[in-house]
Amino acid sequence: MSDIQGYVIVHKETGERFGDCYDSIGGAKSSWCHAFRSEWRVTAKLRHLAKTKFDAQSEFVIKPLVILESSK
């Protein structure tokens, strides 16, 4: 059995996480846009994504954060 605990934004190739854990997919997308509006939160290697909506980029994906229950 598994339980979705939230959603995280991860880089497709490296698996590096961007930001926090979010309650919903919409929350993750909103946080993405907010991070690029307040540039102090964005590293230099991601500046090329500035002013890009989440759905308009192809480097990152949103994945569910799942806790798996072990069967004993």
Buried-state track 25-48, b at ≥16 Cβ within 10 A, e below 16: eeebbebbeebbeeeeeeeeebee
Residues in Cβ contact with 7 at an 8 Å cutoff, skipping those fewer than 6 apart = 21, 22, 23, 24, 25, 27, 28, 62, 63, 64, 65
Kindly report, residue by residue over 6-49, the tens digit of the pLDDT: 999 999 999 999 989 999 999 999 999 888 877 666 788 888 89
Confidence of residue 50 (pLDDT cuts 50, 70, 90): confident
pLDDT at 41 (0 to 100) = 66
Residue 6: exposure state from Cβ atoms within 10 A (0-12, 13-18, ≥19): middle
pLDDT above 80 (res 71)? no
